[in-house]
Amino acid sequence: MSKVHVIGAGLAGLSAAVQLVQAGASVVLHEQAGHAGGRTRSFHDATLDAVIDNGNHLLLSGNTSALNFLTVIGARGRLTGPRGARFDFFDLETSDRWNVDLTRGPVPLWVLYKDRRVPGTNMTDYLKGLKLLTAGNRSVAALFGDQGQIYRRFWEPFSVAVLNTPADVAAARLLMPVIRETLAKGADASKPLIAKNGLSDSFVDPALNWLERHGAEIRFNARVDKIVRDDRKVTALASDTGMEIVGRDDGVVLAVPPWAAAALIDGVAMPNKFAPIVNVHFKLETAELPGMTSPLLGMVGSVSHWIFKRDNVVSVTISAADDLARLPNDEIAKTVWNEVRQAIGLDGSAQPPVRVIKERRATFVATPDQLARRPASRTDASNLALAGDWVDTGLPATIEGAIRSGELAAGTLRKLTA
Ligand SMILES: Cc1cc2nc3c(=O)[nH]c(=O)nc-3n(C[C@H](O)[C@H](O)[C@H](O)COP(=O)(O)OP(=O)(O)OC[C@H]3O[C@@H](n4cnc5c(N)ncnc54)[C@H](O)[C@@H]3O)c2cc1C
């Protein structure tokens, strides 16, 4: 394999590019935007005069592909989080506060301790999680919806966060690989991790620097408009700057979102329904928040789902936010601030400066019919592989899934062209 064109510089494309360079290919990265990162990026916001992320992103220490990627690009130290596998929660309806604190090792001893598990739950509630093994096409609500507090305080928030899909339609089986790789391995694989100084600082800039240092060519404002092929191979890429020939031994990784891929390739089923995520960023006058002792706080019984804190900016995530995303930004900000000020312990405070970001197609919807549309990385063109969080990695549409899809695409091309 002499040269590989990677189309799309989101995390899937960056991961594929890094893998391919490591395998000895000469890589050209084509990105339509003026920056890399795609749905995982940071920018300076003028209203808040702060660098914020397009949306909060949570990883777990069992996300091995993401952590390996960061290690290779020299950015493993750019994630932070609480010392243990500890998740703090606040229930807005009852004002209860608690934390779930996992123990080490694959035997979930933490469920034996009342003060380490979700209040109002008992050990057998957790055993019922085994139903996931035979979930078939059932939704999270169909499996666990009748289980009281453990559903309301664990299964629903967990599944909405991981699948970005309402629990009454989300395919429960897609939680299984996540649990297998993280929670089921105990605390060491379940520590929450977030970007220390922003997503671009952790994932994107170090990857671009690494690729440049290793000879990759990176082209911004370089949208690929057409993939030209014969019946066996991709032969050229067309863009508004002209036609680029793809040589006989060259490869192509298509690492764009499904709505962009659908315009570039025919005959491949792919997810076509998406769900929004809304993020609301507030710049506070103080970084001292009595209600937040960790950089992450889960919310239950509220519109708000997760609060992230970086210095004096608190950012609130609402996933599967179809209804909320239809409201005007000032209304969203008001609703969310009214909840968040109680959670973070700034009860009487007026609403601080705010920025609302609606990512309307944050991820595909994780319903059984959409999962059935996920394609393999391999295509019928022998030098074309697909990457992206929507490709069938077996994982949900997450950073881990996107980075793993890049590994998969690089491996597919290596095999096909060997
Ligand atoms: C608000 C929000 C919150 C999220 N929260 C989490 C979280 O907490 N944890 C988690 O793990 N995941 C989270 N995710 C999911 C995660 O961000 C995505 O799964 C991941 O970023 C997808 O990466 P990707 O490379 O597959 O796609 P993208 O990031 O969409 O990258 C595709 C790239 O292709 C480029 N492109 C498109 N068309 C062309 C073309 N024709 N030519 C050239 N380039 C093109 C685009 O500009 C883009 O840069 C969240 C997503 C959002 C939006």
More confident residue, 117 or 38: 38
For residue 12, how far is its CA from the centre of ligand 1 (angstroms)? 8
Pocket test for ligand 1, best of 69, 399, 400, 408 (most atoms within 8 A of CB): 399
Spelled out in words, what is the top-level CATH class assigned to the domain 43-81+193-198+274-364? alpha beta
Q: Is the pLDDT of residue 417 over 70?
A: no
Task: State the pLDDT confidence band at 105, using cuts at 50, 70 and 90.
Answer: confident
**Of 277, 282, 275, which Cα lies nearest the Cα of 336?**
282
Regarding beta strands 354-364 and 26-30, do their DSSP bridges make them parallel or antiparallel, or are they unpaired?
unpaired
For residue 129, how far is its CA from the centre of ligand 1 (angstroms)? 30
Mean pLDDT of 356-370: 98
Q: Ligand 1: residues within 6 Å at CB?
A: 7-13, 30-33, 38-40, 54-55, 57-59, 223-224, 255-257, 260, 277, 279, 359, 362-363, 388-389, 397-402
Q: What percent of the chain is modeled with pLDDT above 90?
A: 88
Give the pLDDT confidence score for residue 276 in this predicted structure: 98
Pocket test for ligand 1, best of 54, 256, 274 (most atoms within 8 A of CB): 256
Atom of ligand 1 nearest to the CA of 223: 42
Task: State the pLDDT confidence band at 418, using cuts at 50, 70 and 90.
Answer: low
Helix, strand or coil for residue 175?
A: helix
Mean pLDDT of 175-192: 95
Give start-end residues of each CATH 3.90.660.20 domain in the chain.
43-81+193-198+274-364
For residue 416, how far is its CA from the centre of ligand 1 (angstroms)? 26
The mean-pLDDT minimum among 67-76, 104-113, 388-397 falls in: 104-113
Q: Give the other-Cβ count within 10 Å of 2's Cβ.
A: 12
Q: Is the pLDDT of residue 63 over 80?
A: yes
Pocket test for ligand 1, best of 39, 87, 217, 296 (most atoms within 8 A of CB): 39
The encoded tokens of residue 59 equal 């990883």
Radius of gyration of the chain from its Cα atoms, rounded to whole angstroms: 22
Fold category of 3-34+220-272+367-417 in CATH: FAD/NAD(P)-binding domain (3.50.50)
- 72-97 confidence digits (pLDDT tens): 999 999 999 988 999 999 999 999 99
**Of 196, 197, 203, which Cα lies nearest the Cα of 37?**
203
- 212-255 confidence digits (pLDDT tens): 999 999 999 999 999 999 989 999 999 988 999 999 999 999 99
Task: State the pLDDT confidence band at 122, using cuts at 50, 70 and 90.
Answer: confident
Mean pLDDT of 37-64: 97
Q: Whose CA is nearest to atom 35 of ligand 1?
A: 8
Query: Is the whole-model pTM more than 0.85?
Result: yes
- What b/e readout covers 221-250, taking b as 16+ CB neighbours within 10 angstroms? ebbbeebebeeebbbebebeeeebebeeeb
Helix, strand or coil for residue 54?
A: coil
Report how far residue 206's alpha carbon sits from residue 108's, in angstroms, rounded to the nearest whole number: 36
Give start-end residues of each CATH 3.50.50.60 domain in the chain.
3-34+220-272+367-417
Q: Is the pLDDT of residue 299 over 70?
A: yes
